[in-house]
Structure 1
Amino acid sequence: MARIAFHLEIQDGKRDDYREWHDRVPEELERAYLDSDAGLETYSVFEKDGHVFGFMELEDPEAIKEVQAESEAQADWDEIMGDILEESDDSWMDEVYRMV
């Protein structure tokens, strides 16, 4: 099982928008992730003071990145989040320690 994480930052004044959108994530987006060949087991997103941390446990990280690059539902979500999140070239994080 692979573990991947990402970090994003919310634009000033957009924190409430970010949280509101995550109260109603489109079912099509969730379905794109769950129906992929990634073997997604866990996907959590955390936010504090405008910093977003996402964490996934899955079988195939490349498959989930494929969904993110090719899914129409992801493209729609990215358009919404584009008005809320700071621009980021690479938000994926390297795992540097795991206890268990």
Structure 2
Amino acid sequence: MTLATPAPIAPASYITTAHLLEAPLPQLLDELGAELVESSITEQGFTGYARREDGRLLLAMRRGQPVVERDCIARALLGDMLGVPLPPLPEPYQLTAL
């Protein structure tokens, strides 16, 4: 997966590691004004990317992605964008800043 904008966005004070890991994903997206869309990228191994667009967070995820993978990757991307520390992703996943 790729993170298109490496500079973190200042998180709201309640966005802690615990909140990022435990809150339902739709709630997190709503709280942060973030949008999750399906990407047109179909390359093998691609799971998603995050970027800022018009002051909002945009998460683009692979079409047909398993629900658990999508949830985990979305939280990792949000944590990275917000500068919230999270445990490392399991192999073979990794975040790459471009």
TM more than 0.5: no
TM-score norm. by structure 2 comes to 0.32
TM-score norm. by structure 1 comes to 0.32
Could you say which structure has the larger radius of gyration? Answer: 1
